[in-house]
Amino acid sequence: EPEVTQTPSHQVTQMGQEVILRCVPISNHLYFYWYRQILGQKVEFLVSFYNNEISEKSEIFDDQFSVERPDGSNFTLKIRSTKLEDSAMYFCASSEPGFLYFGPGTRLTVT
Amino acid sequence: AQTVTQSQPEMSVQEAETVTLSCTYDTSESDYYLFWYKQPPSRQMILVIRQEAYKQQNATENRFSVNFQKAAKSFSLKISDSQLGDAAMYFCAYRSLNSGGSNYKLTFGKGTLLTVNP
């Protein structure tokens, strides 16, 4: 069964550094998403991406965040200058016009 | 905006017994989807079951079933014959039926941590 993959599984970075989280969505999906889960809290929507542009973003998704689909397979989330409060699990998801399939997540730790 | 509420932060069940997890939601829409996701310690989000609001019949997936009460905006998950592997965080989620073709984002509740006792 096709699945969404994410790399790395765990990323440790220092405050102020840039990080790029990578995702490979399911190949025939057209809609891509990033969600975030701070430890012990609920999963929160960050951004959705369709037709090579952002279709919706949440209040969390400020100017420090950006997304890109650099080629036909990868979907990336960049955090320009990480803060301690960016420490969380980041989930990528993809969908056809329908149901979301989540990747296994990247645990980001900002020290 | 839609909201999803899970009023039980934690639940426990004995192995082989049945447990019901609660979820309520608030929406002004008449058509939508509801989901239960399971998040084991690995933290992967696994879809357990989904329900289309326009369907009156409650969804069932093996030992998992839902009790969907549209008028009450309630969507509970019943796990029958609980197994040790069912221990996880369970999230209820809402999705609009049609978001104009560009966005199918989910709104999640805060989750219920289920413990299964041997």
Per-residue pLDDT of chain B (118 residues; tens, 9 = 90+): 789 999 999 999 999 999 999 999 999 988 899 999 999 988 888 999 999 998 889 999 999 999 999 999 999 999 999 999 999 999 999 998 765 555 678 999 999 999 999 9
> Residue A9 and residue B16: Cα distance in Å, rounded?
34
Judged by a CB distance cut-off of 8 A, whether residue A60 touches chain B is no
Q: Which residues of chain A are modeled with pLDDT < 70? A: none
Closest CA to A27 of A57, A3, A54: A3
pLDDT of residue B90: 97
Residues of A in contact with B108 (CB under 8 A): 42-44
Tokens encoding A38 = 């701070």
pLDDT of residue B102: 55
Judged by a CB distance cut-off of 8 A, whether residue B43 touches chain A is yes
- Parallel/antiparallel/unpaired status of strands A31-37 and A19-24: unpaired
pLDDT of residue B58: 95
Partner-chain residue, chosen from B35, B43, B104, that has the shortest CB–CB distance to A105: B43
Cβ atoms of B68 and B75 within 8 Å: the answer is: yes
**Alpha-carbon distances of B87 from B19, B27, B82, rounded to whole Å:** 12, 30, 9
Q: Please state the length of chain A.
A: 111
Cβ atoms of A81 and A61 within 8 Å: the answer is: no
